[in-house]
Structure 1
Amino acid sequence: MTVHPSLQPYADAWTHSIEAISELVGPLVEGEWNRATPCPGWSVRDIVSHIIGVECEQLGDPRPIHTLPRDLYHVKTEHQRYMEMQVDVRRHHTGPEMTADLEYTIIRRARQLRNENRQPETKVRAPLGAETTLELALRMRAFDVWVHEQDLRTVLHAPGNLDSPGAHVARDNFLAVLPKVVAKDAGAPPNSAIVFDIHGPVEFMRTVRVDAEGRGTIDGTPSLGPLATIVMDWETYFRLATGRVRAAAVADRIKAEGDQELVAAILREFAVTP
């Protein structure tokens, strides 16, 4: 059986990141599993639980029958409640139980991906009873696992993989929604252009152009007269885009020229993950 060529990059990125996570958490002592992470309300254990739970659902496993406590301050939406179920059910698991569960889940999912012969447009299970395409599901798993790998690296003081295959999947995901952030969410004026100049392990320059009807598009051609130019490093970019930090906390790592009110509006709307 052969994995479809459009799916293979996502399978490779997922494999790279989830194996890195396994290596990160394998040596942890019990207390380290309780360290707080950049995800509100989630510890190291909770992030690993989330990853295990979502991968199990991708395997077709039934969701756990579990009642959430009423005092989880960070759970406010139906989507958060859905995700929290797989997390809370493992909150009392020990470190060895967590690593064994993670390793077994990786083995099962890796086998599933190796034998994957469905077409990219095949409909598969998505959160809250929805459906999505297999290609989008794999892309989002590669993205999610890489972002959480970086969450764990932050709290465990183990930087790395900022330019891994998962990082490039994340870049593409962020760029796909950047026109909406600029044109709709931040309200950039019609017939304007905003340049993003990102340096570091993942380097790129993109221009978001807003047409006369207020619709945004993105391309790699520099604008000769942009309304604003925003310069930052890749790590700052993805931490802003995932809501892990706010612009005020990393102001020294952002350089902006042009319309400062528009820049502030863009940075205020920059987080695009739930």
Structure 2
Amino acid sequence: MTVHPSLQTYADAWTHSIEAIAELVQPLVEGEWNRPTPCPGWSVRDIVSHVIGMECEMLGDPRPIHTLPRDLYHVRSEFARYMEMQVDVRRHHTAPEMTSELEYVLIRRARQLRNENRQPDHMVRAPLGSEQTLEVAYRMRAFDVWVHEQDLRTTLGKPGNLDSPGALVTRDNLLAVLPRVVAKDAGAPANSAIVFDVHGPVEFLRTVRVDAEGRGSVDGAPSLGPAATLALDWETYVRLACGRVKPAAVADRVKVEGDADLAWAILDNFAVTP
């Protein structure tokens, strides 16, 4: 690949996860494509349709001209409507149509990566007609395909890759928004610290500190006397942060010490994906 060095990590993570998705869905029979996944409102087919659609947008393909049905309960925002377009237009595609389109878009994207010579700060298309840097686009695709790979693995009963390159990109993405979750969304008090102790295939200890003005920051230093400590496994952390499960459903997998009300306020606001 010839991508810029700062993009290589994301390109490698994306490649690893999307090839895993292709391998997971290749042998599926027609009925299995309709199985519901942890991603609200989406089946196996819907997730693969979403992945195909987003990669087509990375390639610069025009978006489909399509009218969404009015009864899609999970579509509650303009962002969701934007994402649903690429999904709904493929809802009646057969298994061979899905796997062949996925294979073709992978070939095209691999060629794009081999020939990539744009700089990380180059602006490219983003959802809802906005723009983002190429680096953000690469990072978000790596994050997105890994999370959806895990959705498919959960549905198909084929766990794995919880510590793959995409998992590490996902960890960093989720940690970047953790200060907002704690300080703003959950309303942690000023001059407090909250510790997250995550174990499993991806392990880390992070402290979110809220300053006197109520602004949050995150670091890897332990806190002496935090307001609350939340200990949980990596898979549960991801499922909560990506809105795949409600806190009450995994209460037995989260150990809370300190201010329980604050800890559960954080968990109630933990989902950060649209």
The TM tier, using the shorter chain, reads over 0.9
The aligned amino acid for 1:64 is: P
Letter of the 1:104 partner, please give it.
Answer: Y
CA–CA separation in structure 1 for the residues paired with 2:261 and 2:158: 36
Task: Tell me the equivalent position of 1:106.
Answer: 106
Helix, strand or coil for the counterpart of 1:6? helix
Name the structure 1 match of 2:42.
42
TM-score of the superposed pair, with normalisation by structure 1: 0.99
Aligned length: 274
Query: For 1:63-78, what aligned pairs fall within 5 Å after superposition?
Result: 63-78=63-78
Residue 235 of structure 1 and its aligned partner are, at CA, apart by 0.2
Aligned-partner Cα distance in 2 for 1:219–1:211: 13
Q: Which runs of 5+ in 2 are unaligned?
A: none
Residue type at the aligned position of 2:130: A
Matched residue SS, 1:221:
coil
**What CA deviation, in whole Å up to 9, does each residue of 1:213-269 have, x standing for no partner?**
111111100001111110000000000000000111001100000001100100000
RMSD of equivalent CA atoms: 0.8
Tell me by how many angstroms 1:198 deviates.
Answer: 0.2
**Matched position secondary structure for 1:15:** helix
Looking at structure 2, the residues matched to 168 and 145 of structure 1 have their Cα atoms a distance apart, in angstroms, of 13
Distance in 1, Cα, partners of 2:197 & 2:41: 33
- Return the alpha-carbon distance in structure 1 between the equivalents of residues 175 and 120 of structure 2: 21
Aligned counterparts of 1:21 and 1:184: Cα–Cα separation in 2: 35
CA–CA separation in structure 1 for the residues paired with 2:39 and 2:195? 29
Residue in structure 2 matched with residue 156 of structure 1 by the alignment: 156
Tell me the alpha carbon deviations over residues 41-68 of structure 1, each in whole angstroms, 9 at most, x when there is no partner: 2110000000000100110000111111
Aligned 8 A contact 2:40 2:244 in 1: no
> 1:2 offset after TM fit, Å?
2.7
Cα distance, 1:69 vs structure 2: 1.3
Structure 2 match to 1:13: 13
- Runs of 4+ in structure 1 deviating by more than 3 angstroms, as ranges, are none
Match of 2:253 in 1: 253
Shift of 1:113: 1.2
Task: Answer yes or no: is 1:263 the counterpart of 2:263.
Answer: yes
Gaps of 5+ in 1: none
Q: Which residue of 2 aligns with 1:199?
A: 199
Partner Cα distance (1:70, 1:202) in 2: 40
Partner of 1:190: 190
